[in-house]
Structure 1
Amino acid sequence: MLMALSQLPRLLSLPPGMGLAAGIIEPSAWSVPAVLVGLTAIVAMVLSPRLTVSVPAPVVGLGAGMIVYWAASLFHPELRMLAGNPLVVGRLPGGLGGMFTSLGARWSGLRGFDLEMLKAAAMPAATLSLLLSVDTLKTCVVVDTLTRARHDSDRTLRGQGLGNLVSALFGGVAGAGTMGATLVNVNAGGTTRLSGVLAGAFALLTLLAAGPLVAWVPVPALAGILLVVAWRMFDRKSLSLLRRRSTQLDFAVSAAVIIVAVSVDLIAAAGIGIALAALLFLRDLASGSVVRRKTRGNAVSSRQRRLPAEREALRKLGAATVICELQGSLFFGTTDQLLSELDADLKTCRFVVLDLKRVQSVDFTAVHMLKQIEDRLHERDGRLLLCQLPHSLPTGQDLESYFAEVGLVKPKRFVTVVGELDAALEWVEDALLAEAGLTPPVSAAPLSLEEIELFREFDAAELSALRAVLREVSIAEGAPVFRRGDTGDEVYLIRKGRVRILIPLEAGKDHHVATFGRRDFFGEVAFLDRGTRTAGAVALTPTELYALSRSRFNDLSRSHPALGAMLFARLSHALALRLRQADEELGLLHDA
């Protein structure tokens, strides 16, 4: 837009001091030869690709404009004069002598440079460097799209700064990779860095050796060429933003920047654009949902395997827990939204688990909101649990340290910070089971065979027959029971301790599949198919186990077929319950 508005007065050759608006509505102020030259350059440049591809379109347009200019000079003799002719570039100051004279003057001027001059130049220099950098990077993005290349921003700006410093020594003015000249270069076929270097070299050569010829280049022809470039730069698709309600504000920002740039200047336009974009960003943050997923405790469970009675109890008591996965930024614009989202739950729930894995930032307003949630839960003898806190936010903030500094996490407060979501769910489940009186008594003695859930309905004779084929196994804390890929055919029954099932991943990490406790069993897959272990098992505490191998079980089944059938039925029933539980959780998570 700025390019087009700056070139229209030159195309029409309006008198000095006349504004564009006044000039457009007053055709008598137009120069007929200038209009003819400019329109000829525009038509020639547009039609050039249809006539030839070997000569760049701007060269064809410029040549056509010059022909018309000299043709017009036959009827307007003043066009054949260089002095005072507004339709040509005019005599250029240049030559090697002028360059060295300018260089000497610059170095001489440095002698009088003082602190006051530095202070006076600092702000304009900083502003100019910022605008030129933005202009260059904007041009680089457009050129990347046209040439399917990738620019190095740091390298480009370093080169621009060095070039401007050297240019200043010769009396040059600071410049940037402007869109107009760059697109003329790209449209002419110059798509590599070498084309930019050659363009600069040819410009210098022309200044030094062909200055008298350049003086006769028609200004309207150059204006016409740049008007074509400006038209091709115009993104007409951006007008489609007006059609959709969701993008009308984005169009308003662009329109405001253009209006300010045209009516005031680029610095003010950049400031307006940044301010409006920031307001739109805050609006999007505040209007977007900070809650990514919300579920109740009876819809999801920890990886701690529970016995049927415990699962049934948690299914009834789980409604007292709400689990929220948060996302985005927790600040003054979203805290009220989160509190409103949880308001109904806080009236019925006693435990709230907030998963902060996807949170990007937190401010003091959000901390105050979390304290409000904690206070309301404490009134119901509940607790707030925070899990999966990012070790480092994009801002560099350590969230756990920040919560401690602002007093959210203290021994006397009712907020618990845990590492993983699974640990938070397990904490809540243990608390609910303890209140329901279903927590197994803490005992150092391993369970006897009849206390194992799988053998709960077996009589004394059957238990005696089973005891003969079982072997007792002791596993130290942290030691593996078996590893993934091991061969084996044993199912393990836990008499004491806890065992975690893990699948090893790359980089030494593990995926936590499940955790089993007293009275439960694991390792049934290899027992059933006699294949290799699909996962590993590690003792979380000193653990006592019963091990039943498939080979010894087959021997038992041949002598006690009813016992073998009963054990298989019990094992199948337990596995079916586990699969049903997994299916229910997947369905509820999908609905959430």
Structure 2
Amino acid sequence: MAQSRIYFSIYKAKNPRNSCSSCLCHIVEIVQVDYTPFMDKTINFRHFAKVAPVRRLLEYAEAAQGGVESLVAHARSGETAKERWTDMDGKQTASSRTAKDAGTKKGSVVASFVSRIPPLRSGLGDSLGGLAAMLVALPSAIAFGLIVYAPLGSAHAGKAAVAGVIGTIALGLVAPVFGGTSRLISAPCAPGAAVLAVFVGELARNHSIRPEIIPLYVALVALLAGLLQFVAGSLGGGKFIKYIPYPVVAGYLNGLGILILAGQLPKFFGLPKDVTLFTGLFSPEYWQWPCIAVGTSAVFAMLLAPRITKVIPAAIIALGAGIACYALLARAMPALASLQDNPFVIGPIARTGAGFASTAADQWAQIGQIGFDGLGFVVVPVFTLAILLSIDTLKTCVILDAMTYSRHNSNRELIGQGLGNMASALAGGIPGAGTLGPTLVNVNSGAQSSLSGLFAGLSALAVLLLIGQFIAWIPLAALAGILIVVAYRMLDWSSFRLLKHHSTVFDFFVILAVVVSAVSMSLIAAAGVGIAMAILLFLREQVRFPVVRRKAFGHQIFSKKKRRPTDLRVLESEGMKSVVFELQGQLFFGTADQLFTEMEPYLSKCNYIVLDMRRVRSVDFTAANMLRQIHARIRAGGGRLLFSSVPQTLPTGQNVKNYLGYLGLAESLEDVAFFPELDDALEWMEDAVLSKARAGTLFGMGEILDMSNIEFFAGLSAEAMADLRACVTERTCEPGEPIFRRGDRGDEILFIRQGTVKIFLPLPDGATHHLATFGAGDFFGDMSFLDRCERSANAIAVNRVSLYVLSRQVFDEVSLHHPVTTRKFFERLSHAISMRLRQTNAELMALEQS
């Protein structure tokens, strides 16, 4: 392989205010980079941004002042143009984006890749890509048009073919302009054709509707479906399309494939209209061998073409093979050479643009013949069609994004598709979507922008106006052969793999149910079954999801209020009498029993049960009623039910606290309490347990403690107490007053004589995180006392606080003369810190085990 090099240049515009591709520029620097390792890959600018010379150019461009800089790459190589150059954002750039684009924002750097071919190749690539895509889309569009109107008989074949072409034109001219997804090709598609074919079949069997007005019903459904897509995109509904479960979509597409296959086999075998498919398949006397020969040639060409060449689309080769086979047969069978009353070809169609326009106008002139009863027929098909076309489009867009490192706008694309389908309906065409096959051909043919879609529409218009009369000679069996291959490829055979795993068997039966409904009843019934199955899938996942995220007893989870060793021993001994349930997800009728089952063993055994609802997303009436039953069981056992972090504003607008209060779980009940945070509930519960253990009094809650009453100093000799009293000073802080802040210099340890102190960690966004709470008889500030470093957090007085302050500097001076007192002090401090670490270890272990 010849060596490939890329030459990067920085161009600096002399006139930044009037920067354009022709402005006077001078070259700042040129470097060359070998891009041989990247050949045969999709090249992204990030590959080269890591190369030292290119990085140096970028740094220069960012630092330059007073001009507009553009980074340009020139590729020179003996290789063909296989690479697709992409810019920093992952979007493919056209070579025409030069210094003018860079000048839109002064001082910005735009990475614009210019291929080895001239700048005009950008527009040429879009035009060639659009032409190639049209050649793929047009035969399928004609075939889809025939599918839609097949229930009306061969007399409507010419109109059906033209409807497919008009749909290609309208979508190609409108959708790229308003949708804007780069390189996306929109055209009539199989899902839309299948839905409309079933709809036309149901109308044809309804003898109250005249056959000549059925095309108007089709146009009305297409118009309203397009309007629904437009409204959905305008209201931001594009993001909701992806929430349809894949098994439902897979089942629907499989059902569509089977329906298309069943609809094309009669044409493939040339069966009479009054012969059923099952009878005809097993009755060779009904077979038309010219149809079989033409259809077989198209099928083989469709399958073998990709192995021979990828330059010409397989559908074009297949159509050509079918026409050639028909032409050979016409030499031996003169009846085939006549267009009049020939059931093997499409048949006569309008030959002028005025004829097409007048046909559409005459069709819409009959709109008054559709009454309110007739509108009832179109409601379900409209919604079904809009959803399927939207899914097909957005699915293609996702694949296109992955190929081109771009990102589409779902809502904008739905608006474009809706307007395109509305235009198609008004012009007498059939609706469509962003189609994958023509889009892939478009990308591989060198298209670089959404203009390629516009070229596809213009090419289809040229075909209709210039050689539209030749469409009449297209053999129906050739189109049937192409569609049989398309339908076969629509079938997701990998769905059978779902039977191998127990967890996915239900998904397989969802697919099967939708397929059976589509084939045995109708696509409308399949849509209803799909919605029901989607609900079942949602319920299954919700029921599988555990509603209790974590369960912990009183000796496994503690509040942030630091307790003295004696208090910790009490809490540990009483720990099994209190339990905390952290709930999550949806509390509704599907998970209410799961919640009760989890809590039932503890309802009569525990004195305090805490329900933390911070992660709860919704509560329905069934779940609320279950909570009432849980409360009744707790009250019967003499316990109390505590709620924490109850959501007051959910995305649904529900205020859970008010909802529970309305249903009977209000704060006015003596055995029910609500707390803003879990830590508040834990602290209240711990205080209640300690108060009960001390016969209703908490030590040190009201009076100011003397040093001898603080547990840290308990048991010290009178001499040691005297030494320590000489070291400490007293300090009083008012509520809300900061005792110290993070970053303050200090070496003091502080012992609380009265009141409560909270420790907060400042966060970068200005908020704070509550770390711990200390009460009377406890101490804080020990880290700076030990390492003499800056304070690591803020200490704030919750209420009036009285403190003993012991400075390390003063303590060191005393320790020189009283080593025994120093040793005992550090022993007490080490023991207290170790107890805090053990408590933390217990909480971490409980968290890990849950």
Of 574, 591, 609, the residue aligned with 1:334 is 591
Structure 2: tracts of 5 or more residues without a match: 1-256
The answer for the alignment partner of 1:135 in structure 2 is: 388
* 1:90 aligned partner, one-letter code: G
The answer for the alignment partner of 2:338 in structure 1 is: 81
Deviation digits for residues 304-331 of structure 1, max 9, x if unmatched?
A: 1111111111111111111111122222
1:559 aligns with 2:817: yes
Structure 1: tracts of 5 or more residues without a match: none
The answer for the alignment partner of 2:310 in structure 1 is: 53
* 2:813 aligned partner, one-letter code: D
The answer for the alignment partner of 1:519 in structure 2 is: 777
1:462 aligns with 2:708: no
Supply the distance in 2 between the matched residues of 1:78 and 1:543 (Cα, whole angstroms).
Answer: 109
Supply the distance in 2 between the matched residues of 1:413 and 1:22 (Cα, whole angstroms).
Answer: 78
The answer for the alignment partner of 2:787 in structure 1 is: 529
* Per-residue deviation, 1:118: 5.7
2:422 alignment partner, SS class: helix
The 10-residue stretch of structure 1 (347-356 or 156-165) with the greater mean CA deviation from structure 2: 156-165
2:385 alignment partner, SS class: helix
1:475 aligns with 2:733: yes
Of 450, 465, 473, the residue aligned with 1:216 is 473
Q: Tell me if the contact between 1:92 and 1:207 (Cα under 8 Å) persists in the aligned partners.
A: no
Matches within 5 A, 1:174-573: 175-177=431-433, 182-190=435-443, 193-437=450-694, 439-441=697-699, 444-573=702-831
* Per-residue deviation, 1:499: 0.9
Q: Tell me if the contact between 1:490 and 1:547 (Cα under 8 Å) persists in the aligned partners.
A: yes
* Per-residue deviation, 1:579: 0.9
1:43 aligns with 2:296: no
The 10-residue stretch of structure 1 (510-519 or 323-332) with the greater mean CA deviation from structure 2: 323-332
Supply the distance in 2 between the matched residues of 1:43 and 1:359 (Cα, whole angstroms).
Answer: 58
Distance 1:443 1:520, change over 3 A: closer
* Per-residue deviation, 1:43: 2.1
* Per-residue deviation, 1:204: 2.7
Matches within 5 A, 1:116-131: 117=370, 119-131=372-384
Distance 1:108 1:236, change over 3 A: closer
Q: Tell me if the contact between 1:58 and 1:184 (Cα under 8 Å) persists in the aligned partners.
A: no
Q: Tell me if the contact between 2:700 and 2:776 (Cα under 8 Å) persists in the aligned partners.
A: no
* Per-residue deviation, 1:209: 2.1
* Per-residue deviation, 1:572: 0.7
Supply the distance in 2 between the matched residues of 1:574 and 1:441 (Cα, whole angstroms).
Answer: 18
The 10-residue stretch of structure 1 (478-487 or 307-316) with the greater mean CA deviation from structure 2: 478-487
TM superposition score normalised by structure 2: 0.65
* 2:798 aligned partner, one-letter code: L
1:538 alignment partner, SS class: strand
* 2:800 aligned partner, one-letter code: P
CA RMSD after TM alignment: 2.3
Q: Percent identity?
A: 42
Distance 1:29 1:150, change over 3 A: farther
2:665 alignment partner, SS class: coil
TM superposition score normalised by structure 1: 0.93
* Per-residue deviation, 1:372: 1.7
1:9 aligns with 2:251: no
* Per-residue deviation, 1:208: 2.3
1:559 alignment partner, SS class: coil
* Per-residue deviation, 1:145: 4.2
Supply the distance in 1 between the matched residues of 2:477 and 2:364 (Cα, whole angstroms).
Answer: 38
Supply the distance in 1 between the matched residues of 2:493 and 2:707 (Cα, whole angstroms).
Answer: 80
Q: Tell me if the contact between 2:346 and 2:473 (Cα under 8 Å) persists in the aligned partners.
A: yes
Distance 1:41 1:265, change over 3 A: same
Q: Tell me if the contact between 2:749 and 2:781 (Cα under 8 Å) persists in the aligned partners.
A: yes
2:633 alignment partner, SS class: helix
Q: Tell me if the contact between 2:700 and 2:754 (Cα under 8 Å) persists in the aligned partners.
A: no
Distance 1:392 1:246, change over 3 A: same
Distance 1:288 1:435, change over 3 A: same
Supply the distance in 2 between the matched residues of 1:586 and 1:163 (Cα, whole angstroms).
Answer: 59
Q: Tell me if the contact between 2:628 and 2:664 (Cα under 8 Å) persists in the aligned partners.
A: no
The answer for the alignment partner of 1:69 in structure 2 is: 326
The 10-residue stretch of structure 1 (239-248 or 427-436) with the greater mean CA deviation from structure 2: 239-248
> Highest relative contact order (Cα 8 Å, sep 6+), 1 or 2?
2
Q: Tell me if the contact between 1:88 and 1:217 (Cα under 8 Å) persists in the aligned partners.
A: yes
Distance 1:413 1:140, change over 3 A: farther
Distance 1:61 1:588, change over 3 A: same
1:507 alignment partner, SS class: coil
1:177 alignment partner, SS class: strand
Supply the distance in 2 between the matched residues of 1:372 and 1:379 (Cα, whole angstroms).
Answer: 11
* Per-residue deviation, 1:496: 1.0
* Per-residue deviation, 1:521: 0.5
1:87 alignment partner, SS class: coil
The 10-residue stretch of structure 1 (483-492 or 428-437) with the greater mean CA deviation from structure 2: 483-492
Supply the distance in 2 between the matched residues of 1:580 and 1:276 (Cα, whole angstroms).
Answer: 51
Deviation digits for residues 142-177 of structure 1, max 9, x if unmatched?
A: 31343225543433333333334333433x155131
Deviation beyond 6 Å, 4+ runs, structure 1:
none
The answer for the alignment partner of 1:146 in structure 2 is: 399
Distance 1:357 1:288, change over 3 A: same
Distance 1:380 1:130, change over 3 A: same
The answer for the alignment partner of 1:586 in structure 2 is: 844
Distance 1:485 1:238, change over 3 A: farther
